Structure 1
Amino acid sequence: MKLEKNLDNLKQIAPLVQYAFGKNNDLLHDDNFMSRYDHSDGYGFFNDKKLTSYIMVNKFKSEVFGHHVPMAGIGYVASYPEYRGQGHISKLMKEILKDLHDQDIPFTNLAPFSESFYRHYGFSNSIYQKEYRFSGSALRAFKLPRTGHVIRGKWNDLMVQNGVIQLYERQLHTDDERNTVIRQAWWWNRMDSYYHNRNIAVYIDADGRPISYLIYRIHGNVFLADELYSITAKGLICLLGFMGSHAGAIKEFRMILPEHSLIGELFPEQNQLHISLHPYMMSRIIDFAIMVTYMKPLQEGTFNVEVISDDQCPWNIGVWQITNQAGQVSCKQIEDGLVDYSGPITAWTQVFLGRLSMRDAVKLGLITDYRIKKLDFKKGDVSFYDYF
């Protein structure tokens, strides 16, 4: 059931989340938890007036190919161990998806503790991270900028903060993002306080314009770059030079970057880099008909696609006619018509919000093609990461 925002419920939510996630502090007095709680809807299951299961839902806007699309971030999925396996989370998840559908929120994201667990609810892997690990010797070729300058500070430094937000907003206006959170002020502030001791470096060019930024942490002798973004190659090289200026005291550097990152190509000795790809977030289409209209088909024309299964959101099942004319995409359900492509909602999520092209999905047997019509969608990028 959806929970009322009152102190009695909060006093049951906090200890459940504390226990389930191994938190040692009192969440009732934790600003990080409370800021998220204050901007959330909560769903819970009670047994003899005791809250035994809980899910938090935060509502955001997400950038999807130039559209500000309502999106729900699901987190703090928790049950006491003695009540697990009784179907309580399944009931709550079904209720949440129905409520989000009624509120015209067409998709949701979450960070899974178990991918197979969330696939039962129609979620699919959609966002991946590329991790670079290397020692300071790999940065020898990069120097601090000779023109312009780097400013360094904390999030509460307004010069630093404004530089970061300008660059972040600039990327969101490229229409290339397929599932990137539009960060509100409260979320920026929470991110800063949630990740302790974060520093920020912004490269300002000779004309006073912010060109690139780096959000990073130093833990002992490990330098961790949480976010690195630049609008030019020079901006990347300048911040790599800034990282290199720490090499004397740092044993290992780690950069967490978007899957499409090619920054390794700038290193003269790429064999010094250890590069790995990790699944990060899962997504779920709640309203197929709405979600289609935000996509960018690569071919014009009319196509009939079928959602063959969706246990949690049965309104998605059926044949949908997609029309793409002059960049305008419309979608309607039809009763008759030859189907061009079909697949379960999980596969369509991978194609719309994940990294799979239609061609790859067909090759993998996730989507079935029945006719010779060619249809694919612009893939776009996820340039920034958020954790729910």
Structure 2
Amino acid sequence: MGVDVKLDPVKDEARFYQLTLYAFNRQDTPQRQAFFGQLYRHSLAYGAIEDGELSSGFLAIPFETQFHQNRIPMRGISYVSSYPEDSGHGNITKLMHRFFEDCQADQVPLAYLAPFSFPFYRRFGFEQVFDRVHYHVQTRDVGKLALPDFAKTDEVSIKRESFAQAGPSIAAFHEAHPFNQGGGTIRSAWWQDYLTLKHATWEVATCLVAGKLEGYVIYSRDGNQQLSIQEFFWTSKTAYWQLLNFIARHKGTYAAFDYISGDPRPRIDAFSDPHVKKSMTATSEAYMMARIVDLPMFFKYYHVPTDRDFKLTLTVTDDFLPANNRTWQLTGQNGTIACQPTDDAAELTIDIRELTQILLGYRRAEDLMQLNLNTDQAAALNRLVQPNLVPMLWDYF
């Protein structure tokens, strides 16, 4: 078996595409060829070659993520695929080793992926970090929406466009929004084009207040059955209520409203009658995993409040990446955390998966049920974390 670290961006696209069609049981269509080609040509493709044939592989997509005001390079793993005759041969594991080596060489300290199996990817040091809330309600149970007085203004205008038309204009709004600063991605121009190619049925309603963009909804319409919402962002309560009213006005046309939100905090009070006997449900769903690839490099990008001065000696266990698997001296000063290897005795030990959950805001240290921390140890770990960090991810790859 040979491993092509980065498959050729021209000659290997077709056979990687065929691998994904087989592995994910997808139909070949001109639209799929278009959006897949856009993704492939902007990604790093890893593939296991046996007897000259591609047997397994995945794509690594370059992104920048946001954690409050910090931007951190990240690679999103996508289309992890194997032909059935190659399954279980360990080729994905070999490719993962090479992928992480490249991340470290290219100064990329973070990786995300959408798992088909959480236990499978925990072997590589990934852990659950992003959850979503799935809202569903039959429109018969959507009552009359009463706008607050402050939201009743002649200065409001709602504009409907296709996603292709509206995408560039809402990209900056999306990027700057607090919802996208808990690990969300920066949507570069090529990624915006990819989303447009992939989601040809998406539509956008923007809300302008006195000519200023203050919110938007991305949605799609499934015949008369369902209005599906992909994103709902707002920066003012007027825009929130106006867009909610826009959605509610579809209740005479569709049987149900559906929304899978990247914000893991349920907002069931948005519904006039969320009683259990009604059809409205808000279900928490596990979404994506993440892992810190290079701990010292991660802290070069990641900052905490400037009034946090501390020293912590921490043993990190990482079964897949030996470079992280050691004892570290963490020193916090003026908002920066220095991370240096040390031979000193550690104050506590933590696995890279649990440390990723803490640093990305998914769990506070005292809530990690795998660790039996005392109060001082939990407080020491929590000083490493940016305040009020709620992990949210709105893109799928």
Report whether the alignment pairs 1:69 with 2:69.
no
> What is the Cα deviation at residue 193 of structure 1?
2.2
User: 2:25 — aligned with what?
Assistant: 22
Match of 2:217 among 214, 219, 224: 214
Pair 1:245–1:131, CA change in 2 (3 A): same
Q: 1:52-63 to 2 correspondence within 5 Å?
A: 52-63=55-66
- The percent of aligned pairs where both chains have the same amino acid is 25
CA distance in 1, matches of 2:172, 2:10: 39
Gapped regions of structure 1 (runs ≥ 5): none
Aligned amino acid, residue 173 of structure 2: L
Between 71-80 and 133-142, report the one with greater CA deviation: 133-142
CA distance in 2, matches of 1:292, 1:189: 32
Report whether the alignment pairs 1:150 with 2:158.
yes
Match of 2:379 among 367, 374, 385: 374
8 Å CA contact retained: 2:314, 2:349: yes
User: 2:354 — aligned with what?
Assistant: 347
> What is the Cα deviation at residue 28 of structure 1?
10
Aligned amino acid, residue 70 of structure 1: P
Between 258-267 and 117-126, report the one with greater CA deviation: 258-267
Q: 1:175-194 to 2 correspondence within 5 Å?
A: 177-194=181-198
TM-score, normalising length from structure 1? 0.91
> What is the Cα deviation at residue 141 of structure 1?
1.5
> What is the Cα deviation at residue 64 of structure 1?
2.1
CA distance in 2, matches of 1:106, 1:27: 36
TM-score, normalising length from structure 2? 0.89
> What is the Cα deviation at residue 180 of structure 1?
0.9
CA distance in 2, matches of 1:226, 1:102: 36
Q: 1:1-388 to 2 correspondence within 5 Å?
A: 1=3, 2-25=5-28, 30-136=33-139, 137-142=141-146, 146-147=153-154, 148-157=156-165, 160-161=166-167, 163-171=169-177, 177-205=181-209, 207-220=210-223, 221-271=225-275, 272=278, 273-293=280-300, 294-296=302-304, 299-307=308-316, 309-337=317-345, 339-361=346-368, 364-366=369-371, 368=373, 374-375=379-380, 376=382, 377=385, 378-388=387-397
> What is the Cα deviation at residue 370 of structure 1?
9.2
8 Å CA contact retained: 2:7, 2:47: no
8 Å CA contact retained: 1:178, 1:379: no
SS in 2 for 1:179: strand
CA distance in 2, matches of 1:329, 1:186: 33
Task: Report the RMSD for the aligned CA atoms in angstroms.
Answer: 2.4
CA distance in 2, matches of 1:184, 1:372: 40
Aligned amino acid, residue 115 of structure 2: P
Aligned amino acid, residue 125 of structure 1: Q
8 Å CA contact retained: 1:125, 1:354: no
Pair 1:54–1:351, CA change in 2 (3 A): same
CA distance in 1, matches of 2:332, 2:213: 38
Structure 1 consecutive aligned stretches of length 4 or more whose deviation exceeds 6 Å = none
CA distance in 2, matches of 1:32, 1:373: 45
Gapped regions of structure 2 (runs ≥ 5): none
Aligned amino acid, residue 68 of structure 2: F
> What is the Cα deviation at residue 108 of structure 1?
0.3
SS in 2 for 1:242: helix
Count of equivalent residues: 379
> What is the Cα deviation at residue 265 of structure 1?
2.4
CA distance in 1, matches of 2:144, 2:21: 44
